[in-house]
Amino acid sequence: MNMKKETLWGAVCVLLTALALLPLVLPSHPWPALVRDTLAIRGYDDTGAPNLVAAMYLGYRAYDTLGELVVLLAALTAAIGLIRKTGAAPLPREEGASKKTHTEIINVTAGKLSPMVLLFGWYLMFYGYQSPGGGFQGGVVLASGIIFIALGRREEWVGRLNVRRYDASSISLGWIEAVSFLMILLLCIAGPLRGFSILENPFPGKEGFHPAFYITGFNICIGLKVGSGIAMACLFMMEKSND
């Protein structure tokens, strides 16, 4: 009875929402072309990125990207803090649940795929300024590659990226994330140091530097930050104690 009541009220709510949203959806106003035309003419000269999407998020709206990275950092900090606080005691396994979570097929496929996925992630980061791709996309693909390594149980590979190692002598995902965020902050203040405004491309292409130098650097730092952050959160969730 209770379930039926919930379904009924759910349907009423959906109907009311549909009535409220229909006036937004039905009229077919043409999408304004002004921004597209302006960017097509000025985007490359203003920011140095032929890819106009990269010109937008690393040039005109770079503050937005910076804020987004801070949101990502805050979310990952909260998630990792919450997972670690639960302690390492494993949950009681339900009766009849299969203990075997990995098959040989997953191990082999994930292990073989991971180098290609990692390479593709680097490609997206390096060529994001002039082809479809960019820091965020490359970072997510890098994270997928690291998760593939973990899924393939390549312990000797993922060992050096262990999420619980924070000593200075080892490379850990936490260190990669911290250093890439520091690099992003340095790139933010590179403009004022060279006499430009903050977050402006400090290498406009007149002194031997390719104008995309700044955009590519930004893309690589963002990719490393996003990739290490998402991979770290996923590896924390995949730990054996959380099975």
Partner 1 sequence: MIERILLLLLFLAGFYGLIARRNLIKKVYALSIMNMAVLLLFIVEGGGLGSQMPIVDSAGEGQHYVDPLPQALMLTAIVVGVCISIVALTLIYRLYRVHKTLDCEELRERIHHE
What is the closest distance, in whole angstroms, from the C-beta atom of residue 10 to partner 1 in the complex?
Answer: 3
Q: Does 79 bind partner 1 (CB under 8 A)?
A: yes
- For partner 1, which residue of 41, 185, 186, 198 counts as binding (CB under 8 A)? 41
Asked if residue 53 binds partner 1 (CB under 8 A), the reply is: yes
Smallest separation, CB 230 to partner 1 (Å): 7
Among residues 41, 49, 39, the alpha carbon closest in space to that of 214 is found at 49
Question: What residues contact residue 118 under an 8 Å CB cut-off, 6+ apart?
Answer: 142, 145, 146
Contacts (CB under 8 A) with partner 1, residues 9-38: 9-11, 13-14, 17-18, 21-22, 25-26, 28, 31, 33, 35-37
Which of 173, 224, 230, 231 touches partner 1 (CB under 8 A)?
230
Q: What is the rounded distance in angstroms from the CA atom of residue 56 to the CA atom of residue 76? A: 25
- Distances in Å between the Cα of 84 and the Cα atoms of 4, 121, 238 are 39, 29, 12
Q: Interface with partner 1 includes 181 (CB under 8 A)?
A: no
Q: Report the C-alpha gap between 89 and 85 in whole angstroms.
A: 11
Which CB contacts under 8 angstroms, 24+ apart, belong to 65-74?
Answer: 65/222, 66/184, 66/188, 66/199, 69/181, 69/184, 69/222, 69/225, 69/226, 72/225, 72/226, 72/229, 73/177, 73/181, 73/225, 73/229
Footprint of partner 1 on 114-133 (CB under 8 A): 130-132
**Residues lying near partner 1 in the complex (CB under 8 A):** 6-7, 9-11, 13-14, 17-18, 21-22, 25-26, 28, 31, 33, 35-37, 39-41, 43-44, 50-53, 55-57, 61, 64-65, 68, 71-72, 74-76, 78-79, 82-83, 85-86, 91, 130-132, 134, 136, 226, 230, 233, 237, 242
